[in-house]
């Protein structure tokens, strides 16, 4: 069953057409990759799914219900998590607080209970701390840096903290925008292993945008190729690699 599907999605900013009639369905438990040249509209698709952009036409369907008109914070509460291409961590907070923030939508402490703290708010915070420590920090191997402010961390670690924050959102679908961009070979390998673990151990569906073709072809179950805001191909990694339109988009064509 498709857990997330996008139908007939069209988006334009004034006269600039960013997406035209893009559609795909992501099966539950898959790693679904979206690839395409720079400026093809990949991140715009994620922004439409996440609710940051409102498409002019088309639908986003999550677990069978239409969420196209829902606000981004409501979608997050439903189970859509996101990591960003250019890291969007909160620089003023520690690693631990950043990760805890991911769980925001699942916590219940209101303003007054927060001011009082002792009682329900404290119990909730302790349960959260335990979950974050034992389920996320341990899994992503970032014990050593949890008390540091994120601004002081190396790029690769910041990406990992961002993934940790997304996991704290208890997602059903994880949207990842270029998770290995700018990483060295070792960091890339680590990240690819984490992504596979998230899929296999936690059963979380992953939608991933990436330029690193080795990673994409290795880990994804299905690949969709976008060029100039249109979908030009979709299939298994092998099918897509052999597709003539894809070769044309990536390598150009011979002039006669």
Q: Which is nearer to other proteins, 57 or 170 (CB)?
A: 170
Token output for 162: 């961002």
| 50 counts as binding other proteins under rule CB under 8 A | yes
Distances in Å between the Cα of 236 and the Cα atoms of 31, 139, 144 are: 11, 29, 38
| Residue for token pair 């922004």 | 47
Distance CA 228, CA 251 (A): 15
Closest CA to 50 of 207, 168, 190: 207
Q: Minimum distance between the CB of residue 178 and other proteins, rounded to whole angstroms?
A: 15
| 91 counts as binding other proteins under rule CB under 8 A | yes
| 207 counts as binding other proteins under rule CB under 8 A | no
Q: Minimum distance between the CB of residue 105 and other proteins, rounded to whole angstroms?
A: 3
| Backbone φ and ψ of 62, nearest 5° | -120, 120
Q: Minimum distance between the CB of residue 11 and other proteins, rounded to whole angstroms?
A: 17
| 159 counts as binding other proteins under rule CB under 8 A | no
Distance CA 8, CA 20 (A): 7
Q: Which of 2, 25, 61, 93 binds other proteins (CB under 8 A)?
A: 93
- Using CB under 8 A, count the residues that bind other proteins: 43
Token output for 51: 């609710």
| 152 counts as binding other proteins under rule CB under 8 A | no
Q: Which stretch binds other proteins (CB under 8 A): 8-16, 44-52, 152-160, 205-213?
A: 44-52
| 88 counts as binding other proteins under rule CB under 8 A | yes
Q: Which of 8, 56, 69, 71 binds other proteins (CB under 8 A)?
A: 71
CB 204 within 8 A of CB 198: yes
Distance CA 95, CA 164 (A): 9
| 72 counts as binding other proteins under rule CB under 8 A | yes
Closest CA to 207 of 73, 86, 26: 26
Token output for 248: 């044309």
Q: Which of 13, 39, 52, 236 binds other proteins (CB under 8 A)?
A: 52
Strand partners, 207: 32, 175
SS3 176: strand
Closest CA to 43 of 188, 219, 181: 181
| 77 counts as binding other proteins under rule CB under 8 A | yes
Q: Which is nearer to other proteins, 165 or 231 (CB)?
A: 165
| 155 counts as binding other proteins under rule CB under 8 A | no
Distance CA 125, CA 203 (A): 26
| 209 counts as binding other proteins under rule CB under 8 A | no
Contact positions with other proteins (CB under 8 A) in 104-133 = 104-105, 107, 109-111, 113-118, 121-122, 124-126, 129-130, 133
Binding site for other proteins (CB under 8 A): 50-52, 71-73, 76-77, 82, 84, 88-93, 97, 100-105, 107, 109-111, 113-118, 121-122, 124-126, 129-130, 133, 165, 169
């Amino acid at each position: 069953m498709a857990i997330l599907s996008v139908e007939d999605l069209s988006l334009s900013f004034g006269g600039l057409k960013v997406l035209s009639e893009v559609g795909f369905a992501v099966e539950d438990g898959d790693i679904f990759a979206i690839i395409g040249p720079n400026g093809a509209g990949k991140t715009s698709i994620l922004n439409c799914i996440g609710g940051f952009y409102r498409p002019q036409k088309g639908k986003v369907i999550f677990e069978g219900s239409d969420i196209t008109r829902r606000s981004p914070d409501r979608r997050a509460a439903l189970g859509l998590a996101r990591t960003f291409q250019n890291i969007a961590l909160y620089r003023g907070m520690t690693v631990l607080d950043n990760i805890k923030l991911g769980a925001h939508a699942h916590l219940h402490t209101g303003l007054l209970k927060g001011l009082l703290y002792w009682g329900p708010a404290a119990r909730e915070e302790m349960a959260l701390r335990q979950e974050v420590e034992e389920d996320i920090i341990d899994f992503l191997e970032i014990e050593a840096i949890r008390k540091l402010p994120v601004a002081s961390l190396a790029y690769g670690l910041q990406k990992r903290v961002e993934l940790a924050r997304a996991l704290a959102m208890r997602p059903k679908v994880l949207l990842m925008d270029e998770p290995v961009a700018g990483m060295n070979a070792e960091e890339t390998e680590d990240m690819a292993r984490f992504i596979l673990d998230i899929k296999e151990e936690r059963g979380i569906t992953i939608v991933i945008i990436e330029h690193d073709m080795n990673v994409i072809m290795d880990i994804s179950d299905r690949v969709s190729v976008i060029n100039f805001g249109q979908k030009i191909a979709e299939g298994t990694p092998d099918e897509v690699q052999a597709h003539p339109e894809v070769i044309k988009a990536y390598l150009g064509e011979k002039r006669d």
